[in-house]
Amino acid sequence: MKQLIITIRPSKYYELKDKLLSEGFNSMSTKEVLGRGKSPVVFEANATGSGTVMASYNHPMVAKKMIEIYSRDEDCEKIIEIVKSVSSTGTSGDGKIFVLPVEQALRVRTGEKDVNAIM
């Protein structure tokens, strides 16, 4: 089993969630987070209509959506491909995917273990 921790742009969240659901990946947890990668985040304020930059701000964090999915090993690559196909804009800030091994899972209500607990 694997845990996928996925961070994406908030603007891509609903499209990605809908695609994952349509492909049968129904179990996920989501949350709003703040973060950044190796490059600083710079925002520019422009004068309306003129295109003139009025101010430039460096900010330590930017809003992201985080999705956690627990999957069977054989589903991991399919989930990664879905995330890449939906969330990639080709620019800095598209997000990250972390894949971690899961040693054990247990469904509290029934006592089911491992893959049976997540399916």
Residue 104 reports pLDDT greater than 80: yes
Mean pLDDT of 98-115: 96
pLDDT-derived band at 98 (thresholds 50, 70, 90) equals very high
Q: Whole-angstrom Cα distance, residue 87 to residue 62?
A: 16
Digit-coded pLDDT (tens) for 15-68: 999 999 999 999 999 999 998 877 776 666 666 666 666 666 667 788 999 999
DSSP E strand stretches across 1-119: 2-8, 29-35, 41-46, 53-59, 62-71, 95-101
pLDDT-derived band at 119 (thresholds 50, 70, 90) equals confident
pLDDT of residue 11: 96
Contacts of 46 (CB under 8 A, 6+ apart): 52, 53, 54
pLDDT of residue 51: 63
pLDDT of residue 36: 81
pTM: 0.83
